[in-house]
Amino acid sequence: MQRDPDTVGLSMPAEWAPHAATWLAWPAAADLWQDNLEAAQASFTGLCRAIADTGEGRAPAERLRVLVTDASARAAAGRALAGLGAELVDVPYGDIWLRDTAPLFVRDAAGARAAVRFRFNGWGGKYVLPHDAEVAERVAARSGYPVHAADFVLEGGSVELDGEGTCLTTRQCLMNPNRNPGLGQAALEELLGEWLGARRVLWLDTGLANDHTDGHVDTLARFVAPGLVVCMRPSGDDDPNRDALLAIAADLERMTDAAGRSLRVVTVPSPGRVLDADGRVMPASYVNFYIANRTVVVPTYARPHDEQVVRELAPLFPGRRTVGVPAAAILTGGGAFHCITQQEPR
């Protein structure tokens, strides 16, 4: 495969590197969120307040760049986010999952920032909403950075980068024929190297039960520092993901990163069996946290392990405050806080 000379040297910084901004999109689609819309907006607001971290008169820790669809959404978001210095950006979108629909922000060989937009096909054609396929292009244009277009399907939640050349992903998602049929593992690894700077790709197998993303890695395992990964251990004999979680931890223990280090693996409890209003298992995950400049925002689900997980994660993030924010309403849409954020490096 011949590389585009414009992409030589591109790499995606780790999430814990300093941010200039966090991109989000205001939950506004009543037809999608239905009875959960108001609660989802409250959870979104809690996330934004934790990211901005403006308590005790502090200036916002980073800019919130929040997409809005119309005047009504702009007014509602403006009221909810008052005092946080949020920038409301008029960009149409289907729903709020910017980890997957927005561009990924990278640096080039000289260290300058750029935006990469990938093709988006509604998570393998399952949820095709108006405007979502164009969000990456529109946000990239509004960012003001040079824009590179990658001609293959990739969602940001399907890859986890350590900033030093290591990428975690899953076969269930990246090698799914509903994304890039005909691309095998070697070709995908080459593309991840070209566009995100991955020199070593570590493959997990399958993800959480009923995850419509086909196993996004950001609900399974996350880098918190070079060589250090956090994943979940099962909670209770009825944990619907018991076998998958045990396999993930065991696989990670055997892996080495791009620098040749054996991964250090830390586990926290999973939320266990979380059900929706119809009694179906939901893909709840504590590792779908977001690493902001001053805080780490952990999704909680009114489960017995909520506070324990926040305490166990805190020592992994020296210099940051680890905060639990209710995310059950966001989960009704299929994900949590990492799924609805996209960091822009400083």
CB 67 within 8 A of CB 340: no
Spatial CA neighbour of 255 closest among 218, 200, 215, 185:
200
What's the angle, vertex CA 126, arms to CA 124 and CA 128, rounded to 5? 95
Integer Rg of the chain from CA: 19
Amino acid letter, residue 78? G
Cα separation, 160 vs 334, in Å, equals: 19
Per DSSP, which regions of the chain are E strands?
Answer: 19-25, 63-68, 87-90, 104-107, 113-119, 147-153, 160-161, 166-170, 200-204, 221-225, 228-233, 264-269, 290-291, 295-300, 321-326, 342-345
7: left (phi over 0), alpha (psi -120 to 50) or beta: alpha
Q: Which positions ≥6 away from 46 have C-beta within 8 Å?
A: 325, 326
**Cα separation, 135 vs 94, whole angstroms:** 9
Q: Supply the residues annotated as catalytic.
A: 339
